[in-house]
């Protein structure tokens, strides 16, 4: 199997204190175990509080709070990924230590990639001509065209499916038997669980109750969590959203597949 350079999933794992040196992220940039995820910029706050809008750009004080909460939920997500890896955190550490010890040109074994992506490991990307693109190929000279309007959800990779379930349990327990009556109440509980405020996207109400999508793609590949007021609490489900171009910034445009 051809091994790609290390993805965001592995960079997140490194934040938990695991070993990752001499490697870059999937997009070719150097991964930093001490880096803090930054909120997306926004030049338009005219839709703040309406479905599909996360709210205005945070000010300096808000950004500090965002960074702290983002790091806390980053650590939670990393723990979930380690627990979801076959063999758990101990086996994941073994594989990464072995890769580090083998030198600068280290490649993680197939066991690692299949543990993250499933049988066969990560898919091999193809170009417009249908031919495989080498993982070490230079970036195309022009940006990938962005898509506007509704887009379909995408499949979650193996480890994300497991992590989605762990986030669902955490959020469900956080709400307990308190069904949120308003968007503000739902958002308040989620921020209390350290999900960054501007990653919580308001959606149209469902059956008279609030509904949001929590965009976790800043620390995964495609994972988004949908939270809906239901019964005596909330219903929580993970799904995949595209992560290319403008679509990456607007999970409200993703159309879910029928249950």
- Tracing tokens 């994941």 back to the chain, one arrives at 92
Mean of the per-residue pLDDT values of the chain: 73
Q: Output the pLDDT for position 98.
A: 82
Quote the DSSP letter at residue 216. Answer: -
Could you tell me which residues come within 8 angstroms of residue 237 by beta carbon, excluding any fewer than 6 positions away? 164, 168, 225, 226
Query: Could you tell me what percent of the chain has a pLDDT over 90?
Result: 32
Q: What are the angstrom distances between the C-alpha of 180 and each of 210, 216, 234, 238? A: 7, 21, 8, 19
pLDDT digits 0-9 by tens, 193-217:
999 998 999 999 999 999 999 999 8
What are the C-alpha distances in Å from 24 to residues 32, 129, 248? Answer: 9, 27, 21
Residues ≥6 apart with Cβ < 8 Å to 68: none
pLDDT value, residue 74: 86
E strand intervals along the chain: 151-152, 200-206, 209-215, 223-230, 233-240, 254-255
Please give the backbone phi and psi of residue 206, each rounded to the nearest 5 degrees, phi first: -120, 120
150: which residues sit within 8 A by CB, 6+ positions away? 253, 254, 255
Q: How far apart are CA 230 and CA 113, in angstroms?
A: 37
Pairing of strands 151-152, 254-255: parallel
| pLDDT tens track for 113-133 | 788 888 877 776 666 666 655
Question: In the structure encoding, which two tokens stand for residue 57, read together?
Answer: 């750009």
**3-class secondary-structure state, position 213:** strand
Reduced to 3 states (helix: H, G, I; strand: E, B; else coil), residue 153 is: coil
Residue ranges covered by each domain of the chain: 8-32+49-117, 151-255
pLDDT digits (tens, 9 = 90+) for 1-52: 444 444 555 544 544 444 333 333 333 333 333 333 444 433 333 333 444 4
DSSP 3-state of 154:
strand
Which pLDDT tens digit goes with each residue over 158-190?
999 999 999 999 999 999 999 999 999 999 999
């Amino acid at each position: 199997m051809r091994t790609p350079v290390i993805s965001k999933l592995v960079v997140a794992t490194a934040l938990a204190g695991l070993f990752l040196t001499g490697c870059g992220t999937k997009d070719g940039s150097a991964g930093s175990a001490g880096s803090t995820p930054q909120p997306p910029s926004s030049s338009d706050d005219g839709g703040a509080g309406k479905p599909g809008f996360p709210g205005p750009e945070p000010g300096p004080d808000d950004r500090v709070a965002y960074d702290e909460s983002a790091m806390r939920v980053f650590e939670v997500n990393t723990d979930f990924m380690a627990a979801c890896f076959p063999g758990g955190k101990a086996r994941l550490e073994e594989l990464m230590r072995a890769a580090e010890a083998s030198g600068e040109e280290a490649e993680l074994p197939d066991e690692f990639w299949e543990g993250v992506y499933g049988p066969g490991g990560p898919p091999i990307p193809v170009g417009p001509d249908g031919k495989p693109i080498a993982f070490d190929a230079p970036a195309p000279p022009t940006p990938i065209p962005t898509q506007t309007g509704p887009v379909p959800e995408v499949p979650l990779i193996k480890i994300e499916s497991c992590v989605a379930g762990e986030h669902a349990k955490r959020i469900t327990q956080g709400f307990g038997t308190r069904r949120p009556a308003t968007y503000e109440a739902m958002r308040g509980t989620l921020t209390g669980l350290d999900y960054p405020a501007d990653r919580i996207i308001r959606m149209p109400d469902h059956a008279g109750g609030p509904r949001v999508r929590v965009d976790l793609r800043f620390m995964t590949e495609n994972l988004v969590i949908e939270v809906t007021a239901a019964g005596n609490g909330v219903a929580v489900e993970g799904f995949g959203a595209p992560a290319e171009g403008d679509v990456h910034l607007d999970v409200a445009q993703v159309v879910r597949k029928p249950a």
